[in-house]
Amino acid sequence: MTIIFDSFPDIKDEERASKFLHECLSQKVSKASNYSLEVCLASLSIEPQILETLRAAHGARDWERINGLCVYFRRNAWRFDFRFGKFNKDMSCVKVADIANGNFKRSMYVPEEEETEQEREGRDSTVEMDSFIRNLQIPLGTREDIPLVILHKLGSFQYDPLLRERLDGIFSPGHHTFLVNTSGSGKTKLLFEGLCQRWGFYFTFARDGSRLGPHDLAHIAGTIHMNLRLTWTQYLPPPSDPQYASLLQANLQMVHNAFGGALLARLFVFKLFLEACSKEGFCQDHRQRWLEAQLLPQDLSDQGDPFNMLQLDVRNAQVDGSVIDEAIAQMLEEIQEIWDMPSGEFLYIALDEANVPSREYLRAFADEHGEYPLLKAVIRSWQRRLGHLPVRFVVAGTVIPQEYFPSASGEWDDWRWSSDTDSFDNPESQRRYVSQFLPPEFKASEDAQVLMRRMWSWLRGRHRYTASFLTLLLANRFENSLYLLRQYIATITKYAPTDHVEHVSEEVRQEVERSISWFSEFGSKGLDEGPISRIEMHRAVVTYLAASRGCPDCETKDRALVTQDYGYFVDTECRRIALDEPLMVIYGAGWLKNSSHPAATTMFKTFDSQHPTALRPSHFALFLALSFASNFDGFSNISDAFKVFGGPVLSALAAKLVLFSKNAEGRPEPTDVHFSEHSPKRLVLEAGGAEDMVSWFKHERDEPFCLFQSSPARPLHWHSAWNFRMVNVSGYSYMSLRHFTCEDSPSFAEDIRHASPASLFDEQPEILSLLVELPHLSPDVGPLGVLRVSGSFRVEKASEDSIPSEHQPAAILNIISLEEAGKRISQDMLMRRLARIFSDDTGDSLRDRQPRQLDSSSPSRKSGRRKRSAAGSTSTTRVSTRLKSKSETVNAASGSGSPGPPESKKRRRNNASSSAQTRKPDTGGSRPGTSNTKITAGRRLNKITAVATGHASPGVPPSEPPENASRYNLRKRIRLPRP
């Protein structure tokens, strides 16, 4: 090696130094021809430190040092190409040291204020409230008006055994994971918490208006065709086409290049981060700091998101895919030298919003199993590049079609499907979550208790509903809390609850509107276009109205309800879907109010339509309960509901719905049932067994109807108590409806034969004796005073001969008359009834109650900016928000951290989007149905869609979207390229 030094006695000149470097590389690297003199010279100008090290080693004739320099050059030679000039420039702007060592101080959220600090002097309550909120330590993102609630106490899941177990199942060293559930169910939060405890990368295919996470993948799909070397084919020809193989390979290579650039950029910044960590020794906190750097990438560079900038630099370099492959390989080699990964540990790649690429370019890729979407191509590409490393993928989204990833193929055997996101399914879990955000004095007040009860009534279900509302409470300093909740509900569902109304001044209304403008209503696209979502929404609304419960057993075909955000998985393996959340059901009920829709709440035509899934017998039975309860609320002719065979007198009889209860002597006495928003509390008893039925026939239940399945092999039966009044004769009778069906070939005679008391109750003889004991039974309607009715919808197929004379009197449904009666049912009353059911405030079964008026108060400022209306009957006593002490504030808030720097400049609220056109909310009054404004997939792309959890809209938004264009959208509004 002495010869080399002798051959280059002087390398002060850069050109001579580059030749010396080239000669050294030829001694150490077998492929020295890959490194031209031009590249060697470029490296010296790109990284002056190389020249300094080279000169120092040359002067000392330190060959070992030159060896190390050659290794460094080999690993970085790819970026010494002149085409990576912009990459190197942007890379020099990345600063990771302060974040890695924990010295970086992020600003914490505090509500915006239009006044300066001098103007606020003397108003201690506001100052102290701001101090409390600041001490919650909720990080401030790029938008100063939005509290990033999802980042509150980030990393705390590890301290909860149940949550830790859930994370261990999702981030498992034994398998990759597809995490699938509806929008807002908490998938993104789980990804964050999992990556707090594990080294990994967080990628998202679509960013929301909170702008959490890098923007590197969000627009690649839209620019994937921008490759000067290859031609993109969006629609592949048939496999028989001679060009098929080459076109498919070109598409795959373009995906490999485009997404490889994003992976390379992430690996490069990760390497810099690890280098900074290694200087002081690795610790567990470094993993969370690395996640936070990915979630708030603007903290890494003054120039913006470095991950996005660097991947764009790679794309614009227009280099061959082999160059990217080599760069990634070299980067991984460096990372492994810096970070000695313990045995059994994995690097986790989290891909969020994978529903976006799972529906893109379905005709651009194919394999032996058929065509597949972009997502599959991306996963395969990254697995190929990272295959030799211990890597696990966690791919999360609302819809990831399982057919594209068949486990039987062997390739996807080590992938597990999970829907284990949980939800707020009991009031205590929601209360614990909410309480950590509330000021101590407010939390102890009656107002807070009322608020939390109503939050449970309306916001139970997916996590986003609760977390999103908390952003409003924080932004409004917990003032006018009940009014905020009402407006929040009205904004996203277009229905404003009429109970517990808090009266506020017009000034307060305007100020609340500014923060409410973050949100937009749920979308009706799935109801407009999706027959499964439409019929299941109808079933959920009817089931709540009749049985006061939701539907935990919805149709799973195509996972339509989850895909369209109306339902959610309630199990851990993507098998059971529920539609029972009050907010979603009340929104669906508002949509169903329109009688022109294919499904309408009280219209029989819903059951006359063709549906991709079989209708449930219980659905039709509960629907009939609603219809009959309304039709026989007071005397009405039997013929208005039934066509009676064999009893001409019966058709002329008038009847009304009654409920029997026992008097002091133990004798049953009838009470009229009046169907309203307040009563009965529940229309239908869904008997779970013989005990429930016997209890109902003993008049121990408050429900006027009973629905039961006598055995698994038998169809559903339904019984109801009726009061028949006839000319000169009056008596009581039961009705027995059997075989609720919409099938095209009903058997009316069979229905009537099995609807007789002897047949129905052959296994419960006690019920027969109870029927006999009922006084004043009408003998004209049938055996034991039971009128037998076929529950078939297909009454047009009935004739005089359909029911043999020996089974008469009997009846079928009068669908035409019931349909007309259904049009007269007040839709507004049904909406109010739903709201009462959600609040569990329907009152006694047979006693109408006025809406309860609760006193409502909440923390309020002492300034004159918010004045309550002197009018109105609701008390608005102000609760003081003066906190006990600074230490108590910190402990009550988050138990860690210190207040951030005080705000010194004037901050202004976003007020520009309040004029967006939306459907006027239904306030539950007597006004006819509202208009049906569709929220299309082309909504603005910068929605603040998930302060609580990830939820987003992909596309190519401007680098800094105008602040006045953003609204907080609880549902996905995604613009997808046409396949």
pLDDT of residue 294: 97
The most confident of the ranges 118-132, 188-202, 828-842 is: 188-202
Least Cα distance to 28 among 64, 76, 81, 82 occurs for 64
β-strand partners of 418: 179
Whether the CB-CB separation of 678 and 662 falls below 8 Å is answered with no
**75-121, pLDDT tens digit by residue?**
888 989 889 999 999 999 999 999 999 999 988 999 877 555 545 55
Hey, what amino acid is at 829?
M
Summarize the chain as % helix, strand, coil (round to 5). 45, 10, 45
pLDDT of residue 689: 82
pLDDT of residue 114: 58
Query: In angstroms, how far is the first alpha carbon of the chain from the final one?
Result: 62
* CA of residue 704 relative to chain centroid, distance: 37
Which carries the bigger pLDDT value, residue 754 or residue 178? 178
**295-344, pLDDT tens digit by residue?**
999 999 998 999 999 999 999 998 989 999 999 999 999 999 998 888 88
Whole-angstrom Cα distance, residue 616 to residue 611? 11
Backbone dihedral angles phi then psi of residue 63, each to the nearest 5 degrees = -70, -30
pLDDT of 550 higher than 80 = yes
Whether the CB-CB separation of 385 and 428 falls below 8 Å is answered with no
Hey, what amino acid is at 105?
K
Q: Which two tokens stand for residue 452?
A: 């939390």
Q: Which alpha helices (H) appear in 575-664, and where do they start and end?
A: 582-592, 617-631, 648-651
pLDDT of residue 854: 29
Q: Is 789 left (phi over 0), alpha (psi -120 to 50) or beta?
A: beta
Whether the CB-CB separation of 206 and 952 falls below 8 Å is answered with yes
pLDDT of residue 711: 55
β-strand partners of 777: 732
pLDDT of residue 134: 93
pLDDT of 415 higher than 90 = yes
The pLDDT confidence band at residue 225, using thresholds 50, 70 and 90, is: confident
Whole-angstrom Cα distance, residue 902 to residue 173? 44
Q: What is the mean pLDDT of residues 149-157?
A: 95
β-strand partners of 722: 657, 733
**457-492, pLDDT tens digit by residue?**
999 999 999 999 999 999 999 998 999 999 999 999
pLDDT of residue 117: 55
Whole-angstrom Cα distance, residue 683 to residue 675? 9
Q: Which residues contact 857 (CB under 8 A, 6 or more apart)?
A: 445, 447, 875, 876, 877, 878, 879
Whole-angstrom Cα distance, residue 495 to residue 472? 18
Q: pLDDT over 70 for what percent of the chain? A: 79
Q: Which residues contact 387 (CB under 8 A, 6 or more apart)?
A: none
pLDDT of residue 383: 95
Q: Which two tokens stand for residue 566?
A: 């109306």
pLDDT of residue 500: 67
Whether the CB-CB separation of 875 and 496 falls below 8 Å is answered with no
DSSP classification of residue 616: P
Strand, helix or coil for residue 606: helix
pLDDT of residue 237: 96
Q: Which residues contact 333 (CB under 8 A, 6 or more apart)?
A: 75
**944-965, pLDDT tens digit by residue?**
344 433 333 333 333 333 333 3
Q: What is the mean pLDDT of residues 364-373?
A: 95
Q: Which two tokens stand for residue 966?
A: 């953003």
Backbone dihedral angles phi then psi of residue 942, each to the nearest 5 degrees = -110, 40
CA angle centred on 866, ends 860 and 870, rounded to 5°: 95
pLDDT of residue 432: 94
| C-alpha torsion sign, points 607, 610, 612, 613 | positive
Q: Which alpha helices (H) appear in 220-281, and where do they start and end?
A: 220-223, 244-278
pLDDT of residue 1: 61
pLDDT of 240 higher than 80 = yes
Q: What is the mean pLDDT of residues 60-68?
A: 89
**723-736, pLDDT tens digit by residue?**
554 433 446 667 77
The pLDDT confidence band at residue 666, using thresholds 50, 70 and 90, is: confident
pLDDT of 846 higher than 80 = no
Would you mind telling me the total number of residues written for the chain in this entry? 979
Lookup result for tokens 């359909």? 802
Cβ of 621: how many Cβ atoms within 10 Å?
Answer: 22
Lookup result for tokens 């991306």? 378
pLDDT of 782 higher than 90 = no
The pLDDT confidence band at residue 29, using thresholds 50, 70 and 90, is: low
The pLDDT confidence band at residue 784, using thresholds 50, 70 and 90, is: confident
pLDDT of residue 710: 58
Least Cα distance to 347 among 188, 178, 158, 198 occurs for 198
Tell me the domain boundaries of the chain: 2-80, 125-136+424-527+582-602+827-835+848-906, 147-418, 618-824
pLDDT of residue 412: 95
pLDDT of 185 higher than 80 = yes
Hey, what amino acid is at 298?
Q
The pLDDT confidence band at residue 745, using thresholds 50, 70 and 90, is: low
Whole-angstrom Cα distance, residue 385 to residue 361? 22
Whole-angstrom Cα distance, residue 779 to residue 757? 14
The H or E element containing residue 463 is: helix 463-475
Q: Which two tokens stand for residue 699?
A: 């008049």
| C-alpha torsion sign, points 732, 738, 743, 749 | negative
CA angle centred on 465, ends 460 and 470, rounded to 5°: 110
Strand, helix or coil for residue 730: strand
pLDDT of residue 928: 36
Q: DSSP readout, 123-188?
A: -HHHHHHHHHHHHT--BB-S-TTSB-GGGTTTTGGGGSHHHHHHHHHHS-TT-EEEEE--TTSSHH
Whole-angstrom Cα distance, residue 174 to residue 453? 42
Cβ of 762: how many Cβ atoms within 10 Å?
Answer: 11
Q: DSSP readout, 818-851?
A: HHHHHHTS-HHHHHHHHHHHHTT---STT---PP
pLDDT of 368 higher than 50 = yes
The per-residue pLDDT of the chain, averaged, comes to 80
In 751-866, the DSSP E strands lie at: 786-792, 810-813
The CB-based long-range contact list for 649-655 (8 Å cut-off, 24+ gap) reads 649/726, 649/780, 650/780, 650/781, 650/787, 650/809, 650/811, 653/724, 653/725, 653/726, 654/724, 654/725, 655/722, 655/723, 655/724, 655/725
The most confident of the ranges 854-868, 918-932, 965-979 is: 918-932
Backbone dihedral angles phi then psi of residue 86, each to the nearest 5 degrees = -65, -35
DSSP classification of residue 708: E
b/e burial code for range 207-226 (CB count within 10 A of at least 16 → b): bbbbbbbbbbbbbbbeebee
Whole-angstrom Cα distance, residue 921 to residue 923? 6
Whole-angstrom Cα distance, residue 192 to residue 602? 45
The answer to whether the predicted template modeling score (pTM) of the entire model surpasses 0.85 is no
Least Cα distance to 647 among 811, 797, 818, 804 occurs for 811
β-strand partners of 644: 811
Q: Which two tokens stand for residue 302?
A: 């003054």
Q: pLDDT over 90 for what percent of the chain? A: 43
Whole-angstrom Cα distance, residue 724 to residue 770? 19
pLDDT of residue 665: 82
pLDDT of residue 402: 92
